[in-house]
Amino acid sequence: MTTIDAVVLISGRGSNLAALLAAADAGELGARIVGVIANRPGAAGLQTAAARGIATDVVDHRRFAERALFDAALAEAIDVFAPRLVILAGFMRILGEAFVEHYQGRLLNIHPSLLPAFPGLDTHRRALDAGVRLHGCTVHFVTPTLDHGPVIIQAAVPVLDDDDEATLAARVLAQEHRIYPLAVRWFAEGRLRLDDGRVRLAATQRGDSALIAPAIDER
């Protein structure tokens, strides 16, 4: 398998970072995580990376009066590693157009909804309020328009009548941990192609599966 260098950006606990590292340990990621950068000094994921001997850095957004200055400092920290891929894993900052264009076609994000539904924050509450029967997560290429980049892979989960934000979020997060390593591997293998704003995957795809919700046990 082709191996590329990647940098992961985090803001908090780094659960998707841990999933990516687990996939790398299993030889299923196709990427070597060479650096982890946080915008918050106390981000728990920094400890996860440091314990693995991965280089870490902090670019604290609170030290910058303007977003453009933060973006420039962040890009400088990333480019020290000369990564082929930049992975946003719970990175809770909106990135400016110049930053996004600098990494165009090699900047990935995961969002906890089935985009284009529910971009932005509070996705699980909004899904529950809307009464949808399917919710999920999306890995996409980042563009200057927030949470609207070309979709690489999605996973859907049922929304149950007794769900609250916590139970629904947990079900979605489990799928995030499944699909993000897949998207990174496909990128590393050169299987992803952008075609007029859509992602084309060089692989045989099945069309015989569906998730229907609600599904009930009638046994």
Exactly one of 61, 102, 111, 135 is catalytic; which is it? 111
**Residues in the chain with pLDDT < 70?**
1-2
DSSP SS3 for 99: helix
Starting from the edge strand earliest in sequence, which strands make up the sheet with 107-111, in order? 55-58, 31-38, 4-10, 85-88, 107-111, 134-141, 151-158
Is 63 among the domain residues? yes
pLDDT at position 1: 56
Is residue 181 domain-resident?
Answer: yes
Q: Looking at the domain assignment, is residue 218 inside a domain? A: no
Rounded to 5 degrees, φ, ψ at 81 are -90, -10
Q: Are 121 and 92 in contact (CB under 8 A)?
A: no
- Flag whether 207 is in a domain: no
- The pLDDT value recorded for residue 73 is 98
Q: Tell me if 31 is assigned to some domain.
A: yes
Residue 111 annotated as catalytic: yes
Question: Model's pTM, two decimal places?
Answer: 0.96
Predicted pLDDT of residue 217: 83
Does residue 204 belong to any structural domain of this protein? no
Do the domain assignments include residue 209? no
Please give the tally of structural domains in the chain.
1
Question: Does residue 57 sit within a domain?
Answer: yes
121, 146, 177 from 93: Cα distances, Å:
11, 11, 21
Domain at 64, CATH number: 3.40.50.170
Domain that holds residue 67: 4-199
